[in-house]
Amino acid sequence: MPKFRENIKKMEAYKPPLEGRSRGDYLLLDFNERTIKPSPKVKEALKKFVDSGRLQVYPEYGDLEEKIAQYAEVSSEQAIVTNGGDQGIDIICRAHISEGDKVIIPSPGFAMHYQSVSIQGAEILEPSYNEKDGSFPFRDVLNLTANEDRIGLIILCNPNNPLGSSIPIENVEKILNKASEKQIPVLHDEAYFEFSGLTAKDLINNYDNLYIVRTFSKAFGLVATRVGYVISQEQNLQELLKIRGPYDVNMFAKTAVLAALEDINYVKDYVREVMQESKPKLEQFLREKGIAFFPSAANFLFLKVSEPEKIIENLKGQGILVRPKKGPGNKNGVRIAIGTLEDTDKFISAFNKVLNI
């Protein structure tokens, strides 16, 4: 057997429960995906690309990154495209973290943050979100930043996944400021930006230690194409391009993104329905039923329930998939994505049956 690095041997593979879920008859509320199809323009563009006779040709990106930068409202040299937000996380970790470094990841957090950091052999410091209200451990993060040696990276997930909790941007800036004193990079994960409206992009020009990672997987519904992007100062992105491969983003992804950006109102309409109609309706239902949940700025809710597996199995039997998650203090819970009003009505009806058992 070949020799593997010891830190890799100690890891476990991230194996999300994906198989069989896309067979077509489930309402998918388990991965925070868009619950309806992306813009019809995406399908049209992909068909044209398939018929163009260019599948055998290496990718050409043209003005893709310029279009992404325009959407993100940053200058053209401040954005690079990646193979999903996951690759953005990975190349930032690879650029900055060495074995023996420490990385601050407030807990609970997104699984790929832990995986990308662990691959580099770093020690993970996990200040905990508040068990009662899910609030961000701001003081703990600031104290660790100031007092710990060999901090290689700070990862802020805003809103948090799986809780949905938000971090005020003024607190993000305070962390950036303290981190910059010690030349510590900060990764601000904005995967749910379209839903939350939370962004640190206005801080890019002032902080050369800031990276923002976003994705086209969630609000845009392009998760199958695997495309995201990183925003940072130009000199940082030039270093990341030494790690990202020249063809890592495929032409289906490029084609889909350009088409989706041409129909941005289609995305905005979905976000409006989710955040202004579906989410308040679901929250009101849960309050009426006495089901506790954390305040969320995203398109999902974390329910604080004692027997999540029973709820999950019952809902699955009714054709709805939701996902077990660990909350602050490693306490059990269920994370539920929020979709259209029709989806929300279906979930409420099914969950009522669960509560009446």
pLDDT in tens, 181-222: 999 999 999 999 999 999 999 999 999 999 999 999 999 999
Residue-wise burial string across 344-354, b where 16 or more C-beta atoms lie within 10 A, e elsewhere: bebbeebbeeb
Q: Identify whether residues 268 and 309 lie together within a single domain.
A: yes
Question: CATH number of the domain that 118 lies in?
Answer: 3.40.640.10
Helix, strand or coil for residue 213? strand
Confidence at residue 15, expressed as pLDDT on a 0 to 100 scale:
82
* Together in a domain, 104 and 232: yes
Distances (CA, A) of 89 to 9, 21, 114, 186: 21, 26, 10, 11
Angle between helices 251-261 and 40-50 in degrees, nearest 10: 140
Q: Does residue 1 sit within a domain?
A: no
Find, among 12, 30, 46, the residue nearest to 259 by Cα: 46
pLDDT score, position 201: 98
Vertex 182 angle, CA 177 and 188, to 5°: 50
For the chain, give me the number of helices (H) and strands (E)? 14, 12
Element (H, E) at 104: strand 102-104
d(CA 135, CA 317): 34
Q: Are 280 and 311 found together in one domain? A: yes
Phi then psi for residue 132, to 5 deg, are -85, -50
Measured torsion, CA atoms of residues 230, 236, 237, 238, in degrees rounded to the nearest 10: -170
State which amino acid sits at residue 81: V
Confidence of residue 357 (pLDDT cuts 50, 70, 90): low
Residue 6: the pLDDT is 87
The β-bridge partners of 214 are: 229
- pLDDT confidence of residue 19: 76
Contacts of 192 (CB under 8 A, 6+ apart): 32, 159, 161, 218, 219, 297, 298, 299
Return the higher-pLDDT residue of 14 and 67.
Answer: 67
Q: Are residues 117 and 180 in the same domain?
A: yes
- Residue 231 within a domain: yes
Tell me: do 74 and 30 sit in the same domain.
no
* Average pLDDT of the chain to the nearest whole number: 96
Range in 14-23, 31-40, 42-51, 286-295 with the lowest mean pLDDT: 14-23
- Name 103's bridge partners: 124, 153
Whether 335 is in a domain gets the answer yes
Closest Cα partner for 302 from 292, 317, 312, 311? Answer: 292
Q: If you average pLDDT over residues 51-80, what whole number do you get? A: 97
Q: Give mean pLDDT, residues 1-21.
A: 84
CATH number at residue 305: 3.90.1150.10
Which among 217, 238, 261 is the end of a domain? 261
Q: For residue 356, name the pLDDT band (cuts at 50, 70, 90).
A: confident
Helix extents (H) in the chain: 6-9, 40-50, 64-72, 84-96, 111-119, 138-147, 169-181, 193-196, 234-240, 251-261, 264-272, 279-289, 308-317, 341-355
Domain ranges, residue 73: 41-261
Task: Give the CA distances from residue 197 to residues 1, 34, 150, 155, in Å, rounded to whole numbers and listed in that order.
Answer: 49, 17, 33, 19
Q: What is the pTM of this model?
A: 0.96
Round to whole Å and give the CA distance between 134 and 143: 19
Within a domain: residue 219? yes
- What CA–CA distance (Å, rounded) separates 275 from 273? 6
Total number of domains constituting the chain: 2
Asked whether residue 83 is assigned to any structural domain, the reply reads yes
Tell me the C-alpha distance between 249 and 1, whole Å. 33
Please tell me whether residues 230 and 287 are part of one structural domain: no
Instruction: Evaluate whether 80 touches 241 at the Cβ level (below 8 Å).
Output: yes
Tell me the residue type at 20.
Answer: G
> Quick one: tokens of 157?
């997930």
Residues 254 and 323 grouped into a single domain:
no
**93 and 143 co-located in one domain:** yes
Q: Which residues contact 61 (CB under 8 A, 6 or more apart)?
A: 81, 249, 254
